[in-house]
Chain A
Amino acid sequence: MQVNNNFEPVIVAFCCNWCSYAGADLSGTNRLNYPTNVKIIRVPCSCRVNPMFILRAFQKGADGVIICGCHPGDCHYTSGNYFTRRRITLLYSMLDFLGIERNRTRLEWVSAAEGAKFAATMQQFTEDVRKLGPNRRLEDLRCRKQ
């Protein structure tokens, strides 16, 4: 594998408005550091995350995509994250089947109270993706940064 110490992965995090986005805010309020590579997109619920968004992110040059939602049973909309769990499990399994590195994708449950978990998760995920190097398997060549 190509080792590039200067490699800074682009990481897209989809966070549900009620738990994980609030958890991310809490890690900010508590000044818990995590890498700048992570950019958060707010969605009402993790079940709003269409597989197309994930593929689109990879296509446009993301190196890792993480989805965060309320813990199962705690969904603001009662059942949204249960659907997310099925959809995303199947999608990740399919990406794995196509030979895409497993550590580029992740789903994590982060509650509004888990600021520390949010920061730790982002730190770990960024490290995992950094180790994998740039995303070469799913990117749109036209979009590659020069």
Chain B
Amino acid sequence: MQRIGVFVCHCGTNIAATVDVKAVAEALGHEPGVVISQDYQYMCSESGQNLVKDAIKEHNLTGIVICSCSPRMHENTFRKAAASVGLNPYLVEIANIREQCSWIHKEIATATEKAIILGKAAVAKVHLNAPLTAGESPVVKRALVIGGGIAGIQTALDIAEAGFDVDIVEKEPTIGGKMAQIDKTFPTLDCAACILTPKMVECSQNEKIHIHSFSEVSDVKGFVGNFTVTIKKKARFVDETKCTGCGLCTEKCPMKKVPNEFNMGLDNRTAIYIPFAQAVPKVATIDPNHCMMLKTGKCGVCSKVCSVGAIDYKQQDQFIEEKYGAIVVATGFNPIKLDKYDEFAYNQCADVVTSLELERLMNAAGPNGGTLLRPSDKTHPHKIVFVQCVGSRCDDSKGKPYCSKICCMYTAKHAMLIREKYPDTEVYVFYIDVRTPGKNFDEFYRRAVEQYNVHYIKGMVGKVTPKSDGKIDVQASDLLSNEQLHIDADLVVLAAAIEPDKTARPLATMLTTQMDTNDFFTEAHPKLRPVESATAGIFLSGACQGPKDIPETVAQGSAAAAKAIGLLCKNSITCNPCVAHSDELMCNGCSSCEKVCPYGAITYIDKEFRMPDRTTAIRRVASVNPAVCQGCGACTVACPSGAMDLNGFSNSQIMAEVDAICK
């Protein structure tokens, strides 16, 4: 005989304001098998949990139903509470009467009625719950970090520091990411390269860290603690192990007119190239789209000059397979393309640049050796206009709906650096709002205004028109003085919105993690679990989760590392016991379930059975590997005989819920 306890939570007034909790407890008390039904103000609090625990002990309960918030919130809390007093944690069911009842309904009468029905469904289900014991599966003591920007680097270093092997997969020929392209960092104005490159070198020298540069993740299988990842090492036509990075080949390569991605296409590189002097690994890469040898079979200069024979024109893409316990996603961001914003004349005028291009223009290793010159005629600009929020905070049809977060600060930084270095330059910043939350951030912005006399104008630029004399007419409104301005600028800098890297979406599909509509990875909980994805064993680091500046990215990178280390420290993890299982007596051995299983958790065995007529027969039956099964239930529906069922969500349990709701 079942002895079921029902516990109705008020959640302060969150539930109690719209649901008559006493009535719910009263009504559920009359359900078959229910021996105690109580309400309490905060069931998840310690005293609330104690109430549940005491009831379990006192009434020797065989199952409990908590009518409270979403099971996604506190299911684990109550399972742990039950387990602590000896009740199997899987004999706990949650009726969600907050998110799915009190918060969405206004009338007490109907909301209470619904809460009672939800409670009844949970009682009906808990009647059929079976105690489940979680199995264990081993954890592979190795982590994968996808993306080698500052986020990935920080995560990898921290994980390696804790003594675990880490692989970094970076799609570009070098790690470093966007930060490597940046000149100075706010709010301290220290040189980005000076703080980043030592970390890059540390990565290459740490024996626990293995960098797969110029590589991509092509397949992910498995589950937390036991992922099998296929990494595609793209052919770079240079043997990484032999190349010393001397750079002779890049000097001699006759193909010198390839737009240099690292400098945002503001100058050229050769077909065989090393992205920048501090690249890690410092290994040359041949760009097959421009290499004459690879395109026409004629040239071979690099091969001739290479003293170590590292050039290999026959190199093929290579696929390697590796096992990992944890995966950290650090795929980062890119500035958006500005093609559709005709009004800013980005495509028409070389002197309208993005902020990232300005970084390169001002960088000592950039195309002008650190002297700020206009890209068009290499003259000093004397009037510079910055435009904020280009493509950020837009309606979906016009751009990105979110604030890109970093633009206010880097624009202040640019304005300040320019005024510092070229005091004869006038700098205008058109802003909608200046957003500077962050340590020393507003002080920094104020310095730009007060100390460096940067002209901040509240208003948006409406139109940018290149003129025949090389000047650029910037038409904008000044909302505070209520006038329309025209500025004859020499250089216009657009603070382009940032968006997640394009590789993130297919990666999310491979990892079975979720993304929001903007293609940022969704964290498991917006406040309490900001660096974990909802998929166990997958962690998020840096701008792939949302716009972030460098200090935040590094903080999140370390946080993701801490979470990954926490996982890798365990020798085994508890498996989800809500897995499929096959009733061998009913199994037909038809292979339907095997075909729909995404994890390959089902295999077939020939097994001897005693038949009802006392003969023995050998039958082919399905067998589920509970460590591999993730409990989706696809097999249960594919199985025509109903031999396949799912623990925790069995056919009879779900039907009992259906019955309770429909009654």
A57 to B654, CA, bound (A): 10
Contact, CB under 8 Å: A41 / B632: no
Known: A57-B662, A62-B661, A75-B512. A40 touches B633 (CB 8 A): no
A132 at the interface (CB under 8 A from B): no
Known: A41-B657, A77-B632. A12 touches B517 (CB 8 A): no
B interface bracket (residues with beta carbon within 8 Å of A): 35 or more
B111 at the interface (CB under 8 A from A): yes
Q: Min CB distance, A137 to chain B, in Å?
A: 15
Q: Min CB distance, B430 to chain A, in Å?
A: 32
Q: Min CB distance, A59 to chain B, in Å?
A: 8
Q: Min CB distance, A17 to chain B, in Å?
A: 8
Contact, CB under 8 Å: A41 / B72: no
Which residues from A are CB-within-8-Å of B113? 36
Contact, CB under 8 Å: B512 / A78: yes
Which residues from B are CB-within-8-Å of A42? 71
List CB contacts (< 8 Å) of B305-363 with chain A. none
A143 at the interface (CB under 8 A from B): yes
As a 0/1 sequence over residues 622 to 644 of chain B, the CB contacts with chain A under 8 angstroms (1 = contact) are 00000000111110111000000
Known: A36-B113, A61-B663, A80-B632. A53 touches B646 (CB 8 A): no
A47 to B578, CA, bound (A): 15
Which residues from A are CB-within-8-Å of B54? none
A19 to B534, CA, bound (A): 10
Contact, CB under 8 Å: B654 / A77: no
For B515, B535, B634, B661, the residue with the greatest tally of chain A CB atoms inside 10 Å of its CB is B634
As a 0/1 sequence over residues 110 to 121 of chain A, the CB contacts with chain B under 8 angstroms (1 = contact) are 011100000100
- Among B100, B110, B118, B638, the residue within 8 A (CB) of A25 is B100
Contact, CB under 8 Å: B596 / A83: yes
**In this complex, what residue of B is CB-closest to A39?**
B661
Contact, CB under 8 Å: B637 / A112: no
A34 to B105, CA, bound (A): 7
**In this complex, what residue of A is CB-closest to B657?**
A41
Q: Min CB distance, A91 to chain B, in Å?
A: 10
A24 at the interface (CB under 8 A from B): yes
- Among A28, A47, A51, A78, the residue within 8 A (CB) of B104 is A28
A19 to B107, CA, bound (A): 28
Q: Min CB distance, B533 to chain A, in Å?
A: 10
Contact, CB under 8 Å: B662 / A47: no
**In this complex, what residue of B is CB-closest to A57?**
B658
A31 to B630, CA, bound (A): 32
A60 at the interface (CB under 8 A from B): yes
- Among B101, B634, B651, the residue within 8 A (CB) of A83 is B634
A125 at the interface (CB under 8 A from B): no
Q: Min CB distance, B652 to chain A, in Å?
A: 11
A70 to B103, CA, bound (A): 23
A57 to B121, CA, bound (A): 13
Q: Min CB distance, B5 to chain A, in Å?
A: 21
Contact, CB under 8 Å: A33 / B106: yes
Q: Min CB distance, A26 to chain B, in Å?
A: 8
List CB contacts (< 8 Å) of A124-144 with chain B. 143
A27 at the interface (CB under 8 A from B): yes
As a 0/1 sequence over residues 15 to 49 of chain A, the CB contacts with chain B under 8 angstroms (1 = contact) are 00111011011111101111010011111110111
B117 at the interface (CB under 8 A from A): yes
Contact, CB under 8 Å: A45 / B634: yes
List CB contacts (< 8 Å) of B493-517 with chain A. 508-509, 512, 514-517
List CB contacts (< 8 Å) of B82-125 with chain A. 96, 98-101, 103-107, 110-111, 113-114, 117-118, 121
- Among B107, B121, B636, B649, the residue within 8 A (CB) of A39 is B121
Q: Min CB distance, A114 to chain B, in Å?
A: 8
Contact, CB under 8 Å: A43 / B633: yes
**In this complex, what residue of A is CB-closest to B638?**
A83
- Among A18, A41, A49, A119, the residue within 8 A (CB) of B534 is A18
B659 at the interface (CB under 8 A from A): yes
How many contacting A-B pairs (Cβ < 8 A)? 155
A76 to B118, CA, bound (A): 25
B163 at the interface (CB under 8 A from A): no
A70 to B98, CA, bound (A): 22
As a 0/1 sequence over residues 60 to 92 of chain A, the CB contacts with chain B under 8 angstroms (1 = contact) are 111000000010011111111001000100000
Q: Min CB distance, B399 to chain A, in Å?
A: 19
- Among B98, B515, B634, the residue within 8 A (CB) of A28 is B98
Contact, CB under 8 Å: A44 / B631: yes
Contact, CB under 8 Å: B632 / A45: yes
Contact, CB under 8 Å: B99 / A29: yes
Known: A28-B103, A36-B111, A83-B637. A12 touches B662 (CB 8 A): yes
A21 to B96, CA, bound (A): 10
Contact, CB under 8 Å: B634 / A77: yes
B655 at the interface (CB under 8 A from A): yes
**In this complex, what residue of B is CB-closest to A54?**
B658
Which residues from B are CB-within-8-Å of A36? 101, 105, 107, 110-111, 113-114
Which residues from B are CB-within-8-Å of A62? 658, 661-662
Q: Min CB distance, A74 to chain B, in Å?
A: 6
Contact, CB under 8 Å: B514 / A112: yes
Which residues from B are CB-within-8-Å of A75? 512
Which residues from A are CB-within-8-Å of B633? 43-45, 47-48, 80
Report, nearest first, the 6 A-B pairs whose CB atoms are least far apart: A28-B99, A48-B633, A60-B662, A77-B632, A28-B103, A25-B99
24 A-B residue pairs with Cβ-Cβ distance under 8 Å, sorted by A, are A10-B661, A33-B106, A36-B101, A36-B105, A39-B114, A41-B121, A41-B657, A41-B658, A44-B631, A45-B633, A48-B637, A48-B654, A49-B637, A50-B637, A50-B654, A53-B658, A56-B655, A57-B662, A60-B662, A62-B662, A77-B634, A111-B517, A119-B104, A143-B663
Residues of B within 8 A of A (CB): 70-72, 96, 98-101, 103-107, 110-111, 113-114, 117-118, 121, 508-509, 512, 514-517, 522, 534-535, 578, 596, 598, 630-634, 636-638, 646, 649, 651, 654-655, 657-659, 661-663
Residues of A within 8 A of B (CB): 10, 12, 17-19, 21-22, 24-29, 31-34, 36, 39-45, 47-53, 56-57, 60-62, 70, 73-80, 83, 87, 111-113, 119, 143
New A-B contacts (10) at CB < 8 Å, excluding given A36-B107, A47-B637, A74-B508: A31-B103, A33-B104, A48-B654, A49-B637, A50-B651, A52-B651, A61-B663, A74-B509, A79-B598, A113-B517
